[in-house]
Structure 1
Amino acid sequence: MIYLTSAKNIKSLFATVLASIALLSASLSLAQPVLRVSAIPDESPTELQRKFKPLGEYLEKKLGMKVAFTPVTDYAASVEGLVNNKLDLVWFGGFTFVQAKIRSNNQVIPLVQREEDEKFKSVFITTRHDITKLQDLKGKTFTFGSESSTSGHLMPRSFLLAANINPETDMKRIAFSGAHDATVAAVAGGKVDAGALNISVWERLLSQGKVNANVVHVFYTTPGYYDYNWTVRADMPPALRAKLANAFLALDKSDPHDKEILDLQRATRFIPTKAENYSAIETAARSAGLLK
């Protein structure tokens, strides 16, 4: 049997299709927004994911939106991701924050930092007993972390220069391990005579038994300086920015669930911060020739 479609039926079908498209468009526009988060890769990807998971779940509840963590390949990618609107919130070191500030023409805002980041420190480590002070590094092999690392390169370099040690001319060879835990591995494995990394990672590796303090030891600890922070773009809606900052500030170590999050972040608590806190790092970077 053959059915002939009337003009009326065609109009009805067309109207149904249009209605379906409108409903689909509406549902897509109402799709749950996503906060895209990342961090400088100063530790292994698995460690970064482990540290962020409870924090991400906490932020989802506080913000009422999905939170997705995306690892990046290197420090520069974290800067470009935020500046180019591919990321919304990034865990920066002080130097990478300064790079993002300059790269974006001051269009990024540091929201919060750990209380520990007000007076952060780097440690210099070695397996050798004839290295007891910075001056003993002359003629030795040495590794920094990533070239864009505040605590693994910029500040250790600035303290070396202040001690009249130029890594390029006074040391036998310098290298860049790429991450703090890789620096410890390079020193412990005898690939270099000494290295520098952030004190927080060093203390974590010690507490986890992943480094033998009888073999690898600290011979110099730097004075304190401002370091890590959570940064957003300046075009983030003010209401969301306030909710995000308040979520971090509300974390309380007396609450068992919050304590788990803070412990993984190696933080006592989060406190507000501002761009001016990192002016000394910018000055150090320019003095070291690391900012053009």
Structure 2
Amino acid sequence: MTIRNLRKWLATGIISLAAATTAQADTFVFTAIPDEDETKLVERFRGVADYLEQQLDVEVRYIPVKSYAAAVSAFRNNQVQLAWFGGLSGVQARRLVPGSEAIAQGVEDQSFETYFIANTSTGIQPADNLADLEKGFRGKNFTFGSKGSTSGRLMPEFYLRDVFGEAPESFFSRVGFSGNHTRTLRLVESGTYEVGALNFKVWEKELENGNVDPDAVQVVWKTPGYPDYQWTIRGDVNERFGDGFKQKVAEALLNLEDPALLESFPRSGFIPATNDDYEPIRATAENIGILD
């Protein structure tokens, strides 16, 4: 090989390597908390990735994670630049990544609810006030969802402590963590746990799809509304993807109108959100010792 050819070969290699590195750097990656069965999440967010790729004109990839904590870690470590978080996991992530912002939430996320459900064999009847369920709940076994879930752990624990004046572990005979809302429903429905708490949207969707046995499980109390899920984006995306990129992502999410994609969340649409919207979640988490 001549010196001239060697220089040409090296230059080509350097250009190819630079192009590959740029292509990798230009991939916009996002994730979501695993609040439902993984197969449902993969189907939902692959559709979102395709939509965002068309809107943003960059390669977009969704990566699943195994836990709420893993979603927060991926965001902190810049393995993902955008995430669909619950209220609590969003607060945790934004504390770890200064400059990150909540940019959109579901219409329904302005006033989200937790449903307390009970196996019908317990004889517990629906009530308008949680205090009316003290006798029926005491001594039963109970499951939250994930330890990092707003609707499956934070808010139900807050109300249990607030109304009954005790930690759940002292009030119930046994307390578990199912890992996600769908599993909470199945565990209470089967009688593995007598009482549980889950995301109201998961309950309503499963009920609508005929996946709930009303003879085995029922809703016994609904919490007041609170802010929950949101899209949170890292504050350094403009430096990586170009000026105005954060705004483009926000606009793409707010303009998402595909009925099938929205139904898969399920949400009727997305509206603007800010970090301040989730101040009640941060304060509640600190008050009961979940957030340091």
* TM-score of the pair, normalised by structure 2: 0.91
State whether residues 190 and 216 of structure 2, in contact with CA within 8 Å, keep that contact through their aligned partners in structure 1: no
* 1:194 alignment counterpart: 195
Give the letter aligned to residue 36 of structure 1. V
| 1:131-189 deviations in Å (ceiling 9; x for gaps) | 23431211111000001000000001111122125211111111000100110111011
1:251 and 1:149 mapped to 2: Cα distance? 25
Residue 31 of structure 1: how far off its partner (Å): 2.4
1:209 aligns with 2:217: no
1:169 and 1:27 mapped to 2: Cα distance? 59
Where 2:164 maps in the other structure, the secondary structure is coil
* 2:252 alignment counterpart: 247
Of stretches 121-130 and 149-158 in structure 1, the one that deviates more from structure 2 is 121-130
| 1:90-113 deviations in Å (ceiling 9; x for gaps) | 110000011112223x33211100
* 2:51 alignment counterpart: 58
| 1:8-43 deviations in Å (ceiling 9; x for gaps) | x62222222223223313432552721111111111
* 2:101 alignment counterpart: 109
* 1:6 alignment counterpart: none
Match of 1:27 among 9, 13, 19: 19
> Are the structure 2 counterparts of residues 169 and 29 from structure 1 closer, same or farther at C-alpha, using a change threshold of 3 Å?
closer
Give the letter aligned to residue 85 of structure 1. N
1:88 and 1:110 mapped to 2: Cα distance? 12
- The share of aligned pairs that are identical, in percent, is 37
Where 2:176 maps in the other structure, the secondary structure is strand
1:173 and 1:199 mapped to 2: Cα distance? 23
2:255 and 2:169 mapped to 1: Cα distance? 45
Residue 130 of structure 1: how far off its partner (Å): 2.5
1:145 aligns with 2:137: no
Give the letter aligned to residue 116 of structure 1. E
Residue 208 of structure 1: how far off its partner (Å): 1.5
* 1:255 alignment counterpart: none
* 1:173 alignment counterpart: 174
> Are the structure 2 counterparts of residues 291 and 26 from structure 1 closer, same or farther at C-alpha, using a change threshold of 3 Å?
closer
2:259 and 2:106 mapped to 1: Cα distance? 14
What is the root-mean-square deviation in Å for CA atoms of aligned residues? 1.5
1:83 and 1:27 mapped to 2: Cα distance? 26
Residue 247 of structure 1: how far off its partner (Å): 0.6
Provide the aligned length of Structure 1 versus Structure 2: 278
Give the letter aligned to residue 272 of structure 1. P
State whether residues 138 and 165 of structure 1, in contact with CA within 8 Å, keep that contact through their aligned partners in structure 2: no
* 2:70 alignment counterpart: 77
| 1:211-268 deviations in Å (ceiling 9; x for gaps) | 112321100011100000011111111511111100111123xxxxx11121112111
* 1:274 alignment counterpart: 274
Gaps of 5+ in 2: 128-132
> Are the structure 2 counterparts of residues 81 and 26 from structure 1 closer, same or farther at C-alpha, using a change threshold of 3 Å?
closer
State whether residues 113 and 230 of structure 1, in contact with CA within 8 Å, keep that contact through their aligned partners in structure 2: yes
* 2:130 alignment counterpart: none
2:165 and 2:35 mapped to 1: Cα distance? 25
* 1:98 alignment counterpart: 91
Where 1:24 maps in the other structure, the secondary structure is helix
| 1:62-101 deviations in Å (ceiling 9; x for gaps) | 0011111111121111111111111111110000011112
* 1:123 alignment counterpart: 115
1:165 and 1:126 mapped to 2: Cα distance? 21
* 1:4 alignment counterpart: none
Greater gyration radius: 1
Where 1:163 maps in the other structure, the secondary structure is helix
State whether residues 109 and 228 of structure 2, in contact with CA within 8 Å, keep that contact through their aligned partners in structure 1: yes
Of stretches 218-227 and 16-25 in structure 1, the one that deviates more from structure 2 is 16-25
